[in-house]
Chains A and B, each alone.
Chain A
């Protein structure tokens, strides 16, 4: 079971959280002005990286707040978690290599 750091509550077991899919996909401000292709892209197309992914988690059985996390999909190592609204942090090569290990 993974150990996940909620930015508000601290480290908790995975069982308390719900995964919310890829992060940093903003809902278009005016959906009706989107073409069908643009809208389909927003609705359905997601990255499936082998490596670092930015994803949303909700502390469902805790503070019930959403936050973002950077996780290596190969190793399940979390590089960091951060509050909603913050841009995706830059990660240095050494940290990336450690996460991949």
Chain B
């Protein structure tokens, strides 16, 4: 049986190109241009999935992105499988591999289907009600069971091998949807010269016109008119037409996100092609031409394979050349289904009966159907559809004048088509925060007042007749172009032989005979929500449609209720005894259809996930085998292991080398800001707690910066290069924040100051040379510069050259040893580093990393902002009260520092801690209490901020912030750990060379 349901001479697929694909391991044939759904239907295969909750057999219902049932995973292998694609949108190609979802062990026979038998036990809110207690069952029993049973599709387990693209675009007019309205709008706007983007989610523009064999536009078949318009659009250089491109999010200020699928439909995509492209389009004006979606009818068994939307059967027939069955029964509340009946009839499908829910339908279309000999049953409803993996018969019954339902009659059918009228697709409009308005005449919500610069056109605002749709689209295109500043004329076309659909419709559950206690009439196919679930929610007291939605989960599946919302609303309104328009609609959330994570991540993967800042010396450190750590965006060498050393061993060796000889350290990541101008000193006085006026040229000072609330914000050494020029350094992570704060005060509070701020972080490479031998190594390299203790004492700086390279040489130390920080232009950094490295070989020069730097500074009690301080520490708390100027009238934070709370004696203050056992290294972050036997909750006095083993001292050391800490020196406190407490002695925070003798040499 190969494509037995293909109708020769119908459809737009390429009958000359047959492709072979597999579905659930079985080989099928289709034609190029088929979707997976149309190709399977051509083979008579309706069963395409199992439902989410009850595992009921499900067939395809629609022919578009609103498809709730036929969800498939495409591709194979751990990395390549993409789950949750709609078979109605997947295009077939040679070798396509697809599998159905929610089945166990196979689609025809599914063990989970016993859930259907248990359906009376699985009503709305079942999970909320059942999995409440005992608490201990949540993690171990309920969650694993629910997770295994639930879950839509299977995510790939290996990294995605494809790549994805991202593009910003600007345009005058964005048209979402390329059906008749969208094409007319795009052409009208395009002819005006406006930059136009026209996007459509399908593979081919034309929308409903591609399935329309009746209408004539300017005397031409609709599909040929589409080709004409497309050709004209393609010739316009200012128009871009994007197919397979879904507008899925309407953001503020007319930024619309599009997802374009580039290779999914190709058997052999070029290897460098991105799989998808995410567009962020900033449009001056937007035209929404999203069309309308046919509503299913809610009756028992409406989910049986073979039950589908009437419009879908028409699309499969006219666009893909596929008859969805041999014998159809049609149930409708709208005239459009009669055209479907006539098309099917003409293609040789038996139309057994057309049941019209309306008591006295009358239209030219209906009479045409009767004229063709078709059986029309007015005032007739459907009671149920029979069958399991395929429908085989239905029960039709008269709707009696008293509102009851007559006795049912059986009709044989392998295809049941339903038409509950049309629902305008208002998703994007609603996302744009536009207000929906209830249209009494159509019984649906349509776009009301706009919030953004957009307008809707055509079926998405309830305009259905083709002539009106084209005129509406053209007018919208003219209006949009005009609003964007382009004068346009509305094109016009003559339409004849068109139908006038969309005037009927039904919302809610169909009336039935008897109680139907076990009847399952589905509202939301994808989440398996039945009419009874919605009624139950109302009975249980839910009144708001938003609550009913969450309790029943209707409209919460990946299709965002495209098919179900209006019917759910109808049922809820009926149960609440309120009119539909008083109940209101739920929010439409983006995305319109699911978007892959790959598209969102785009280029931001791997090395491109985050900027990786590297210093000029980074390649040298890599070559030396350094181990790195991330410090803000910087990658910094943490330690340089030798042989099989671990971090502990390497750090001990590095520490001893610095204290005993000389170490070399890459400090290039330090933030640097050049503060220049006649008012530079005044500005520095206001920004920092320190006094700067008297700092001489060629001198350095430790600078401490507070925020206006008095808490320490940043620190760093500042050198005065000239009377009007300061070389300011900041912490590695704090540089952007410090510059922003400086700019804030300079621009907004003191615009009268003549000062310029320039970030120079990346301009300078900074090489720290530290240790008693540092001067001996450096002196021969600095081109005759006198760097003796007398010429260049601690905390001074000099400009000179090193091997001919311009240099700012700082005599500073973050280790407590004789030290220099050599600033050279970044591009010469590596060469200078290597020159010093070579010169230091005789002295045993040792490279060290951030970990050793941390230990050395902790031995000296130097704080690290962000480690000792946490945004609640004043300078005095951090042991830096000495830096605060007592004479300045004002600086940022000064007023706050005299608030009573900032002076309280029990504030947490920086202290040192020593354990009894010298080998015991405390955990950073550990809490400190007064008594080890204190009852829980203990009164916490402070916490450990830094803790290391000091090789220099041969024991552990720690820094801590402790309440009233400076008065506690000598006291014993306790660190409660799991199962034990550790006693510690409070000390001053300086452990090594307290008097600073080693600095002043």
Identify the A interface with B (CB < 8 A). 1-3, 13, 18, 20, 26-27, 30-32, 34, 36, 39, 43, 56, 58, 60, 64-66, 75-76, 84-85, 101
> Given the complex, which residues of A lie within 8 Å of B615, measured CB to CB?
none
- Asked if B740 is at the interface of the complex by the 8 Å CB criterion, the answer is yes
Chain B residue contacts of A36, Cβ below 8 A: 899-900
CA distance A17 to B451 in the complex (A): 24
- Report if B896 contacts A (CB, 8 A): yes
Q: Tell me whether B751 and A84 are in contact (CB under 8 A).
A: yes
CB-CB under 8 A from B894, the residues of chain A are 31-32
Cα A2 to Cα B282 in complex, Å, equals 10
Q: Which residues on B sit within 8 Å (CB–CB) of A64?
A: 743
Residues in B858-893 with C-beta less than 8 Å from chain A: 889-890
Given contacts A39-B899, A66-B748, 6 further A-B contacts (CB under 8 A): A1-B255, A18-B740, A39-B895, A43-B709, A43-B896, A66-B747
For the complex, is B280 an interface residue (Cβ under 8 Å from A)?
yes
Q: In the complex where A66-B748, A76-B252 touch, is A101 in contact with B451 (Cβ < 8 A)?
A: yes
The residue of chain A having its C-beta at the shortest distance from the C-beta of B707 within the complex is A43
Q: Which residues of A contact B605 (CB under 8 A)?
A: none
B740-A75 in contact (CB<8A): no
Inter-chain contact A101/B751, CB cutoff 8 Å: no
Nearest CB on B from A55, distance (A): 12
Q: Using C-beta atoms within 8 Å of the partner chain, give the interface range for chain B.
A: 20 to 34
Q: What is the CA–CA distance of A45 and B282 in the complex, to the nearest angstrom? A: 36
Complex contact B708–A13 (CB within 8 A)? no
Question: Given A3-B253, A18-B740, A101-B449, is A13 in contact with B282 using a C-beta cutoff of 8 Å?
Answer: yes
> Which of B251, B252, B744, B898 has a CB less than 8 Å from the CB of A66?
B744
* Interface residue? B749 (CB, 8 A): yes
Q: Are the CB atoms of B451 and A1 closer together than 8 Å?
A: no
Chain B residues with a Cβ under 8 A of chain A: 168, 251-255, 280, 282, 433, 449, 451, 708-709, 740, 743-744, 747-749, 751, 889-890, 894-896, 898-900
Query: How many angstroms between the C-alpha atoms of A31 and B897 in the bound complex?
Result: 11
Whether B744 and A30, one on each chain, are in contact in the complex, defined by CB atoms closer than 8 angstroms, is: no
Q: Which residues of B contact A58 (CB under 8 A)?
A: 740, 743-744
Who on chain B is nearest to A78 by CB?
B253
Residue of chain A at shortest CB distance from B253: A3
> A58-B744, A66-B743 are known contacts. Are A30 and B890 too (CB-CB below 8 A)?
yes
Looking at the assembled complex, report how far the CB atom of B529 sits from the nearest CB atom of chain A, in whole angstroms.
Answer: 33
B449 to chain A, nearest CB (A): 7
Chain B residues, CB < 8 A from A2: 252-253
Contact A32 B740 (CB under 8 A): no
Q: How far is the CB of A56 from chain B (nearest CB, A)?
A: 7
Q: How far is the CA of A26 from the CA of B895 in the complex (A)?
A: 15
Select from chain B the residue with minimum beta-carbon distance to A25: B748
Which chain A residues lie closer than 8 Å to B743 at the CB level? 58, 64, 66
Q: Tell me how far the C-beta of B373 lies from the nearest C-beta in chain A, rounded to whole angstroms.
A: 56
Q: Which residues of A lie under 8 Å from residue B709 when comparing CB positions? A: 43
A81 to B376, CA, bound (A): 65
Sample of 28 A–B contacts (CB below 8 Å)? A1-B251, A1-B252, A1-B280, A13-B168, A13-B255, A13-B282, A18-B740, A20-B744, A27-B708, A30-B890, A31-B895, A32-B889, A32-B890, A32-B894, A34-B895, A39-B895, A39-B896, A43-B708, A43-B896, A58-B743, A66-B744, A66-B747, A66-B748, A84-B747, A84-B748, A84-B751, A85-B751, A101-B451
Cβ-closest 8 pairs across A and B:
A31-B895, A3-B253, A66-B747, A27-B749, A1-B255, A76-B252, A39-B895, A2-B253
A13: B residues at CB distance < 8 A: 168, 255, 282
Q: Which residues of B contact A39 (CB under 8 A)?
A: 895-896, 899
Q: Which residues of A contact B168 (CB under 8 A)?
A: 13
Supposing A31-B890, A32-B895 touch, asked if A65 and B747 sit within 8 A by C-beta, the answer is yes
B378 to chain A, nearest CB (A): 46
Chain B neighbourhood of A43, CB < 8 A: 708-709, 896
Give, as a whole number of angstroms, the nearest-CB distance from B872 to chain A. Answer: 15
What's the Cα separation between A3 and B751 when bound, in Å? Answer: 27
Contacts of B708 in A (CB 8 A): 27, 43
Give the CA-CA distance A75 to B452 in the complex, in Å. 10
Q: How far is the CB of B241 from chain A (nearest CB, A)?
A: 25
A75 to B252, CA, bound (A): 9
